């Protein structure tokens, strides 16, 4: 079993910091300018729900076992059977160009969820960067695609390609 941490760039840290600040502002406003406990409770609940939910689905690491690649999240994991993999390779420089989030986080605690690009089509991303030099695309027999960002991308490729 080989464990690889998510390669997270400065942009993710900056976006996450700014979003957390923006989410805290209504709480501060409610504390100092509203005298309603109901309003404060609602704002704290919404803010906490957004922070916790997003954090729980963020990718934390990737594990390569003899038979699978596992994308570990704070809450749960995604297992990709090696027998279902067609290819694991770095993306072409334009594979992710023009990508849009269809149901995803675009930098808040990482890039994860469902995306679409003109060249790659629909794909699932569980990464900490959008820099193609740090990414890998996993293509499956059923047409699904996963984009990940392991630290030590070349080592990751080496261990994925080892015979089962």
Structure tokens at 101: 């989030």
Domain at 98, CATH number:
2.30.29.30
Give the structural domain span for 153. 1-164
**Residue 43, φ and ψ in degrees, nearest 5:** -65, -45
Identify the band that residue 164 occupies on the pLDDT scale cut at 50, 70 and 90.
low
Is the whole model's pTM more than 0.85, yes or no?
yes
Task: Round to whole Å and give the CA distance between 18 and 10.
Answer: 12
**pLDDT tens digits for range 32-84:** 877 788 888 898 999 999 999 999 999 999 999 999 999 999 999 999 999 99
The total of structural domains in the chain comes to 1
């Amino acid at each position: 079993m080989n464990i690889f941490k998510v390669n997270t760039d400065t942009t993710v840290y900056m976006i996450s910091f700014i979003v957390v600040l923006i989410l805290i502002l209504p709480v501060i406003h409610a504390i100092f300018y509203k005298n309603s406990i109901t309003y404060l409770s609602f704002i704290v609940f919404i803010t906490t729900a957004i922070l916790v939910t997003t954090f729980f689905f963020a990718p934390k690491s990737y594990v390569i076992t003899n038979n699978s690649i596992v994308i570990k999240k704070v809450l749960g994991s995604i297992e990709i059977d090696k027998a279902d993999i067609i290819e694991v390779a770095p993306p072409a420089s334009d594979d992710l160009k023009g990508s849009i989030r269809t149901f995803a986080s675009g930098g808040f605690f990482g890039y994860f969820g469902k995306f679409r690009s003109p060249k790659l089509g629909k794909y699932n991303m569980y990464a900490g960067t959008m820099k193609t030099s740090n990414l890998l695309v996993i293509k499956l027999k059923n047409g699904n695609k996963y984009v990940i960002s392991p630290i030590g991308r070349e080592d990751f490729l080496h261990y994925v390609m080892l015979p089962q």
